[in-house]
Structure 1
Amino acid sequence: MKNFKKLFAMVLVVCTAAISCKKDEKALNENISPIGGLTLPANQASIKLTPSNASASQQFKWTAATPEDGGLILYEVAFDKEGGNFTNPVFKVVSDGGGVQAQVTISHKDLTKIAALCGINSSSTGKVNWTVIASKASSKKVGQESRSLQLERPAGFAEVPTDLYLTGSATESGDDVTKGIKFKKLEDGVYELYTSLKAGTYQLTDKQTAAGRKFYADGTLLKEGTSAITVTGGTKVYYLKYDFNVASVVEVSEIQSVGLYMSAYASEIGQLSYTSGGTWQSGVIPVVFYQFSWGRDERYKFALHTSAGIKYMGSSNVNNVSPVGQAASYFYLNAVTNDQWNNTYKFNPSADNKSIKATVNLGASGPYTHNIVTQ
């Protein structure tokens, strides 16, 4: 009987507590006051987009909404085609501060994507609409005001490829796309490659799969599509450079020869032959340092003879030191001027009156570099 009374008392306490908690519950207030006016950019503002400029951006601002209970409101800026009603926006972006600030900064690169989604083609001008969506818990409210924005797209792709590969029967890897040759990425949308091409066809693609986006050159313009580029004649070595930011073929030039240039002689003392994979290898080259009154000079760099002219590859250091004991970066190759003395390397002192073999590696898998081996 005593245990029964204790059990009854405990049940009574639990029930009382539950009733008490129920009385303290409050309904979640999801009401949001209307978003204030849009303030920036002005209605009908015109923006000339420069997506290749990483720092180019546009700020969007509006007057914050007010929650009835002082809770947190999150914001998204929504974009739609001209005449759209935002029931299915083509693009949305969360505001600054993780969605809590009444402003957001959008890059020209993203605005170019938005323009493309709204049907504005490259090298064209068109209009998009934008507004702000406020949300609190499950409640969302589209702003009462929307504005029009005129966007001018440059030539180029709204979505530049993250990677770029060369594939096709004219290439060193053949037409197996899974073995496509990767380009070196210089910056977003800009790629270059040193490779050989033979009679056949080739394409550019952003993936080593059949599903990748395909691109081709039409004169000096880059276009998306499955058309192939045809190569005729014998095997030749080429330098290819493309800029997808402006849909441009920057350069396609034949590399006719690569020479080892010695500064003191102001001439090339030996030649390198192309092998594959962006690599050139010399035979045995005799090296004799030049005798000046102050000592013997050992400076050198490389000269690439192309159909577009002579290009020099040398050191990032204007005045260099001996290679003995230096890191691998000492031998990295960079585009340099035709200055006779600056941005050169120095032979190992042991190479004087000996012979060397030189290797130049302009493959895309790592830093451009070279190697000198004394025979």
Structure 2
Amino acid sequence: MKKKITGLMSLIAILLILAGCSESYELQTGFDAPQALVSPAQNQLIAIDLENGTTTKFEWEKSISHHGGVVLYEVVFDKENGDFTNQIFKTVSNGGGGDAWLSLTPKQLIALAKLANIGVDSEGVVKWKVIASQGGERKEVEEVRTLKLKRPAGIGEIPAELFAYGSGFEVKTIETAMKFKKIEDGVFEIFASVSNGEIKFCNAATGNKVFYILGSNNKLVEADNESGIAMTGTGNAYRIVVDFNLLTVKTTEIKAIQMIRTWQYNLGNLTYIGNHKFEVKNIALPYYHDWGYPEERYRFWVTTNQGQEIWGSYHNDQMNASNIPGLVAFNVQPDGSQPATYYNIYNLADIPSPGQNGDWTGMYKLPKGSENKHANVIIDMSTTGAYKHFVTIID
């Protein structure tokens, strides 16, 4: 009996201890809102400098937590005449919301300026405040400050993609806009017809768009609306290169393309047929046994308003090695076993070939069994994949 009473007393003691522990671990909340904002100063002007600027620090007095819990902070921004019911931007502070300050980069300030409808090379005002929270309870700093932002001329962010359309371009509407080929970071290229009129460049074909125009110094800047660049064109195909690193737009007219066997015989003239393609139909393919054996090598001579270019393959002057590292030479007439890159097209001025005979670099060979037959030839400078050409024997 004594053992039973002792066991019962022990159980009661354990339950009392657990009850006491439960009471001591109740969540204790309570905090004071930050009393004031610290920086930037009221109505301070920040001239956004994308090239040399540093981060801007938004700082406020730290909240006091009554029970030592973590207080989190959120910073909200609105337009000059806004009341924060439809704020234009909000974000947690640094440290995942735990720090009593927020840093914004020049690029982020550009994005904020756009949301406030501050135009390129213009000045405008935003307002900001801080909201503190703990355990679901939210308290706002009573102080609200305004901040002047001066947005620079130029580009806030280099686009990942680029599209074109307009009255002076091959396609006229945003619904049919043509996408550029990205040839390196910040540099885009396209082959399309250009006539007198306007070309609009933008970073997207759907959704929110940023348009780009040439500013007063003839450098690319972001437009405030759906604006374009006035162009003068002949209706021929042009190579357009938009360089966001140099902030330039360069156009080169493609006046003529000849398919030249060896370095002297013109097999045919290709004309632009639209959608980035040049074509010649039903050309004869005589090999001309100049050296006592058939000569089947060829490449393309391109006449532009800047002079002559040669478009050809990656082969060296002996066609036994590649002038582009990693590509495989193919020194016989293509018969279906050639590498997939064989018909790729390159501007030979872009491929170093030191010590080689320029009359013979970048050659292709006509298809096996094509002597004295006819062919259709297409050069495809589409913006998806590599630039290529095709030789189709038709008899």
**TM-score with structure 2 setting the length:** 0.59
Superposed CA offset, 1:258-285 (max 9, x none): 34577x7499875422111001124537
Partner Cα distance (1:142, 1:267) in 2: 81
Q: How has the CA–CA distance of structure 1 residues 318 and 70 changed in structure 2, closer, same or farther, with 3 Å as cutoff? A: farther
Name the amino acid aligned to 2:50: L
Structure 2 Cα separation of the partners of residues 216 and 277 of structure 1: 24
Which residue number corresponds to residue 277 of structure 1? 275
Runs of at least 5 residues in structure 2 that lack an aligned partner in the other structure: 1-18, 315-321
Q: In structure 1, what is the equivalent of residue 349 of structure 2?
A: 337
Tell me the distance in 2 between the aligned counterparts of 1:83 and 1:108: 23
Distance 1:34 1:315, change over 3 A: farther
Structure 1 unmatched ranges of 5 or more: 1-18
Aligned counterparts, 1:160-239, within 5 A: 164-168=163-167, 172-173=170-171, 175=172, 177-185=174-182, 191-197=188-194, 220=218, 223=223, 225=225, 235-239=235-239
Number of matched pairs: 345
CA distance in 2, matches of 1:22, 1:238: 78
Q: Find the counterpart in structure 2 of residue 371 from structure 1.
A: 389
Partner amino acid, structure 2, of 1:110: Q
For residues 361 and 161 of structure 1, the distance between their equivalents in structure 2, rounded to whole angstroms, comes to 23
For residue 380 of structure 2, the aligned residue among 335, 344, 361 is 361
Offset, 1:67: 3.7
Structure 1 pair 155/178, CA: closer, same or farther in 2 (3 Å)?
Answer: closer
Aligned to 1:240: 240
In 2, distance between residues paired with 1:199 and 1:271? 25
CA RMSD, aligned part only?
A: 5.7
Equivalent in the alignment of 1:31: 31
Cα distance in structure 2, aligned partners of 1:231 and 1:150: 33
CA distance in 1, matches of 2:75, 2:257: 54
* 8 A contact 2:79–2:126 mirrored in 1: yes
- Residue in structure 2 matched with residue 255 of structure 1 by the alignment: 254
CA-CA distance at 1:124 after TM superposition: 4.5
Correspondence for 1:318? 323
Q: Deviations over 1:11-61 (max 9, x none)?
A: xxxxxxxx99997895661425638986899x877551249xxxx873747
Which residue type is aligned with residue 34 of structure 1? P
Asked whether the equivalents of residues 195 and 277 of structure 1 are also in contact (C-alpha less than 8 Å), the reply is yes
Task: After superposition, give the CA deviation of every residue in 1:184-207 in whole Å (9 maximum; x if it has no partner).
Answer: 455788644311245777655666
Q: What one-letter code is carried by the residue in structure 2 that aligns with 1:181?
A: M
Q: Please give the alpha-carbon distance, in whole angstroms, between the structure 2 residues aligned to 1:47 and 1:211.
A: 23
- Local SS of the residue matching 1:337: helix
Alpha-carbon deviations, 1:148-176, whole Å to 9, x = none?
A: 676551334679696524144x6545x56
Whether the 8 Å CA contact 2:47–2:152 is kept in 1: the answer is: no
SS in structure 1 opposite 2:256? strand
C-alpha distance in structure 2 between counterparts of 1:301 and 1:35, whole Å: 75
State the identity %: 24
AA of the residue aligned to 1:237: A
| Normalised TM-score (structure 1) | 0.61
Aligned to 1:49: 50
Aligned pairs for 1:51-200 within 5 A: 58=55, 60=57, 65=63, 67-79=65-77, 90-96=88-94, 98-100=96-98, 106-118=104-116, 120-124=118-122, 133-136=131-134, 137-142=136-141, 151=150, 153-156=152-155, 164-168=163-167, 172-173=170-171, 175=172, 177-185=174-182, 191-197=188-194
Q: 1:242 to 1:71 in 2, by over 3 A?
A: same
